[in-house]
Amino acid sequence: MRLSEKTIELNFCSQMLLKFGPSLIWFGLTQREEAKLGFDARTELGGRMFFFQFKACVRLLSSGDRRFLLPHGQLVRLRALASRFPRCVFYVFPLLGTEAELTRNPDVVAQSWFLDVGLMPLVAPPTTRAGTLRKNSLHYADVRPRTAVLHSEPTQVDLVSAATFAESRFSGSDGINRAFESFEDFWQFAQIFKRNAVGCVTVTRPAPSGAG
């Protein structure tokens, strides 16, 4: 049976806590109350903020690559902000897609790769083989360890190992904190994300009782 994005998200977040330690606060992006909780936690604890949009594998290709789908409009809007804050906004590509694969190797983080939206090149809207705009506006992202190829016009992008990034404690990033002067700014940005997207705050001191 195919794994849902929600199953991937839940296992990923719980395993990241084990690899990174207890100083992570996860929060939802599509519910205003949860988003406000995360924004306040970042403000009060002085932590760094990151965003993750989880994807599930749509198809395993004969090459061994796994095909994911990325909405063009979302990608463009995320890139517009994330280009100023690299290593803060990611698509998460798990290289597993079925319950059988999860049973064989339950370490979702070790099998996941990040596409750093802030470091992506500009990509044109996806087209059909006839050269017309694709009605569903979805890009194909054919993923293997370390790299992905985005279509329609093939564009190769580098990926970041989720496990390595976690174990390095999100090195090389100051977080996307400076992008938002108020919660309303943050909430407007959060509307770009779809379901199965989460925010994360890394903190340098223990969170007070009841936070998160």
CA distances to 121, 142, 167 from 155, in Å: 8, 10, 29
Would you state the torsion angle of the CA atoms of residues 21, 24, 30, 36, taken in this order, to the nearest 10 degrees?
Answer: 160
Q: What are phi and psi of 96, to 5 degrees?
A: -155, 150
Q: Is 137 left (phi over 0), alpha (psi -120 to 50) or beta?
A: left
Banded model confidence at residue 90, pLDDT cuts 50, 70, 90:
very high
**pTM of this structure:** 0.92
Residue 26: both structure tokens together: 């996860």
pLDDT tens for 114-158 read 999 999 999 999 999 898 999 999 999 999 999 999 998 899 999
Residue 212 predicted with pLDDT over 50: no
Residues of the chain above pLDDT 90, percent: 77
pLDDT tens for 41-73 read 998 888 999 999 999 998 999 999 999 999 999
Banded model confidence at residue 205, pLDDT cuts 50, 70, 90:
low
Residue 210 predicted with pLDDT over 60: no
CA distance 174 to 88: 8
Residue 209 predicted with pLDDT over 60: no
Q: Are residues 173 and 82 in contact, defined by beta-carbon separation less than 8 angstroms?
A: no
Q: For strands 112-116 and 138-144, give the pairing.
A: unpaired
Q: With 0-12 CB in 10 A as exposed, 13-18 as middle and 19+ as buried, what is 112?
A: buried
Amino acid at 87: R
The pLDDT value recorded for residue 105 is 96
Q: What are phi and psi of 30, to 5 degrees?
A: -100, -10
Section 102-111 average pLDDT: 96
Section 67-81 average pLDDT: 95
CA distance 98 to 30: 26
Residue 21 predicted with pLDDT over 80: no
The pLDDT value recorded for residue 19 is 81
Residues contacting residue 104 through CB under 8 Å, at least 6 positions apart:
none
The pLDDT value recorded for residue 176 is 93
The pLDDT value recorded for residue 116 is 97
The pLDDT value recorded for residue 206 is 52
pLDDT tens for 150-182 read 998 899 999 999 999 988 888 888 899 889 989
The pLDDT value recorded for residue 64 is 94
The pLDDT value recorded for residue 211 is 45
Residue 52: both structure tokens together: 């993750």
Residue 149: both structure tokens together: 């190829």
